Amino acid sequence: MAFPVQQQAKYWGIATAAFLVILWYLGDVILPFVLGGAVAYCLDPIADRLEKWGLSRIMATVTITLVAVLIFVIAILLIIPTLIQQTGQLINTAPDLFANLQAWLTEKFPSLMDADSTIRQQLVSIGETIQSKGGDLVNSVVSSAMSLVNVLVLIVVVPVVTFYLLLDWDNMVAKIDELLPRDHAPVVRDIASQIDGTLASFIRGQGTVCVILGTYYAVSLMLVGLNFGLVVGFIAGLITFIPYVGALVGGVLAIGLALFQFWGEWGWIAAVAGIFALGQFLEGNILTPNLVGSSVGLHPVWLIFALSVFGSLFGFVGMLVAVPVAAMLGVIARFAIAEYKKGRLYKGLTDQD
């Protein structure tokens, strides 16, 4: 006989509270395991495909690992140094960009740019703030990333955790299935399947979209000769998972830089704007429909709210788990609504089927 609903709610509430407490106290400790689990989850379909092609699980895992190491080495040698260099240059150039904007405003609207003008003072302040705070941010990130502990976590622990989780992924899923309450196993499996479908569509699909668009923006902007094109493309691709925000932020940043760099050369400015217009077309009509699909069920506002809340409460680890937790809560909420509509509370006494 199944437990009453009240008792089930108590147990699930205790489990949820325990999860949040563990996340709160062990955030920094479990970071490599969260990252390793996320990477293993994303790579599991590739391992399954390799198994269908005749490779054993261990050989599929080793093949994926070698390819990942090769990509990582290429990124370290070719991309990351340039990205860091351009980021530093962009921060140091910020005061000059605002000075150029100030000169243009002075020419077009002299009354707004008097010596004691609020707009002029704000432009100078913004440029100096970006330079000082941006430099401090880059220095802190670089110094933190170069610390021994973080290097060991990123280079050793995460790949090792990913390797073993990917190797035993199917066995772990089977073990968890054995531990499900027998009375509720079919319902739990159905909910888990919906959660997996949502996560697969969003994380794997949207992650692929982010990589493709980030690469497209970076390469295209560098080809037209835009300064800091790699940084702009990286930023636009990184936040593409939030609908329209990636293209909006990247487009405004790129067009703003293009206005200062190509002022008077309207063809190049139009080319930069066209790059983002084409990127939006590709994302909305080709990439997202084919790689993500239309049944993800994560509303942009809900996604932003989850990222804000979990990032504020649990830091970087919270941001990593925000999307999976938001997807789970979305699936559970839809299940609860469906059950509610089947019950007496919703139907009342008018439906006595």
pLDDT at 208: 84
pLDDT at 59: 92
pLDDT class for 84, splitting at 50, 70, 90?
low
Q: Write out pLDDT tens, residues 243-258.
A: 667 778 888 888 877 8
User: CA 193 to CA 209: how far, in whole Å?
Assistant: 23
Q: Write out pLDDT tens, residues 100-142.
A: 666 666 665 565 555 566 665 665 666 556 555 555 555 554 4
pTM > 0.75: yes or no: no
Residue spans of the domains in the chain: they are 25-179
Task: Determine which of 46-50, 269-273, 313-317 has the lowest per-residue pLDDT on average.
Answer: 313-317
The dihedral through the CA atoms of 29, 80, 199, 332 has a sign that is positive
Q: What is the mean pLDDT of residues 277-285?
A: 84
Lookup: tokens for 200: 């697969």
Residue type, 45: P
Burial of 287 (0-12, 13-18, 19+ CB in 10 A): buried
